[in-house]
């Protein structure tokens, strides 16, 4: 199965601008990508990257500067067999979770992100196409039914947690096991508990 990881190489992670400057956001996005690729390899796959711009990465890279939906649909249209699409900011990924995703039955397998996005997909039906706008999880369930594809969902907190807002950093500090968590800690972030709610605080010292 082809395993494709879309990666926004330029100005990534703008929702983290309150806590990370542009250069840090680029670094952090790249460290998360490297974690995701390493876990996908550990799970026995040969991941490739679909990047918006030329990027130095030690796996095959396709550059496509179109929006995510169009770029992923070009991959789906140009593939003969199954394709998995796994987001580059799933920093809580583990090999076991990858197995759950890839081994799930269904012509289309969808892993919802928190907020109704689609964090990972397996596509085994030739007519299914993606649309990442809006509540794409629900749209993808509908689109799969419309082309007559069977659908399964994967219920995973690790797959549901794409790291793109400050609150997500707490999840990475709680559950992360890779370099992205280490990067965050070395940047001075730690868990903070305020009135029973868990967040992060940054030591700038």
Enumerate binding residues for a second copy (CB under 8 A): 97, 112, 114-117, 133-135, 137-138, 155-161, 167, 170-171, 174-175, 191, 193, 196-198
Rounded alpha-carbon distances, angstroms, from residue 188 to 21, 183, 201 = 14, 9, 8
Q: Minimum CB separation from a second copy for residue 60, in Å?
A: 29
Q: Minimum CB separation from a second copy for residue 56, in Å?
A: 28
| 11 vs 78 by CB, closer to a second copy | 11
| 28 vs 137 by CB, closer to a second copy | 137
Rounded alpha-carbon distances, angstroms, from residue 49 to 63, 66, 76 = 8, 14, 14
d(CA 85, CA 102): 10
| 66 vs 157 by CB, closer to a second copy | 157
Question: Would you give the distance in Å from CA 110 to the centre of its chain?
Answer: 12
Q: Minimum CB separation from a second copy for residue 51, in Å?
A: 20
Query: Does residue 12 contact residue 25 with C-beta atoms inside 8 Å?
Result: yes
Q: Minimum CB separation from a second copy for residue 58, in Å?
A: 28
């Amino acid at each position: 199965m082809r395993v494709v990881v879309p990666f926004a190489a330029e100005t990534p992670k703008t929702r983290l601008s309150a806590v990370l400057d542009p250069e840090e956001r680029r670094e952090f996005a790249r460290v998360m990508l490297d974690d995701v690729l390493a876990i996908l390899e550990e799970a026995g796959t040969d991941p490739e990257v679909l990047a918006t711009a030329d990027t130095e990465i030690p796996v095959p890279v396709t550059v496509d500067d179109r929006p995510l939906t169009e770029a992923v649909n070009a991959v789906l249209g140009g593939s003969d067999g199954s394709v998995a699409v796994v987001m580059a900011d799933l920093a809580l990924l583990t090999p076991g979770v990858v197995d759950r995703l890839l081994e799930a039955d269904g012509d289309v397998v969808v892993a919802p992100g928190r907020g109704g996005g689609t964090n990972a997909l397996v596509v085994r039906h030739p007519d299914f196409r993606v649309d990442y706008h809006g509540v794409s999880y629900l749209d993808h369930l509908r689109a799969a039914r419309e082309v007559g594809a069977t659908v399964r969902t994967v219920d995973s907190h690790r797959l549901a947690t794409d790291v793109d807002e400050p609150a997500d950093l707490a999840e990475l500090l709680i559950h992360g096991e890779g370099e992205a968590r280490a990067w965050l800690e070395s940047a001075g972030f730690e868990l903070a508990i305020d009135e029973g709610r868990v967040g992060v605080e940054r030591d700038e010292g």
